[in-house]
């Protein structure tokens, strides 16, 4: 029964390292875009009453720190990879996806 549930598809360790390096490059590019987002993130307070809106502050924090998450995720991912913790390395590399999704979700609820 357990054999029927597994796909049997596995990427070699060398292939995983290549994929990890490729994702590192993608997050470096996303960090540049995130830096531009950080410059414009105070614009969430332009709407009337947004200075006292906790959702606007949460959106500001998520948008302003996206670049930092994009820079730290590969660093932590590679550190975990070198320790032999491959699952934790992939989880760290997925952090910017979750952070960006949360930021986009929260920013939709900030009134303009």
Question: H helices within 1-112, ranges in order?
Answer: 2-5, 13-40, 54-64, 66-82, 86-93, 95-107
Helix 95-107 and helix 54-64, axial crossing angle in degrees, nearest 10? 150
**pLDDT value of position 6:** 66
Give Cα 92 distance to the centre of its chain. 9
Q: Per-10-residue mean pLDDT for the chain, 112 residues long?
A: 66 90 96 94 90 93 95 96 95 96 92 80
CA distance 94 to 89: 9
**pLDDT value of position 68:** 96
Q: Which residues contact 74 (CB under 8 A, 6 or more apart)?
A: 23, 24, 27, 28, 92, 93
CA distance 112 to 101: 20
């Amino acid at each position: 029964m357990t054999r029927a549930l597994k796909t049997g598809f596995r990427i070699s360790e060398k292939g995983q390292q290549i994929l990890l390096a490729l994702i590192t490059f993608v997050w470096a590019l996303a960090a540049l875009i995130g830096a531009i987002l950080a410059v414009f993130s105070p614009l969430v307070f332009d709407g009337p009453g947004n200075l006292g809106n906790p959702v606007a502050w949460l959106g500001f924090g998520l948008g302003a720190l996206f670049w930092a998450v994009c820079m730290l995720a590969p660093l932590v991912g590679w550190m975990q990879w070198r320790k032999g913790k491959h699952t934790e390395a992939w989880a760290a590399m997925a952090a910017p996806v979750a952070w960006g999704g949360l930021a986009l979700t929260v920013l939709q609820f900030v009134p303009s």
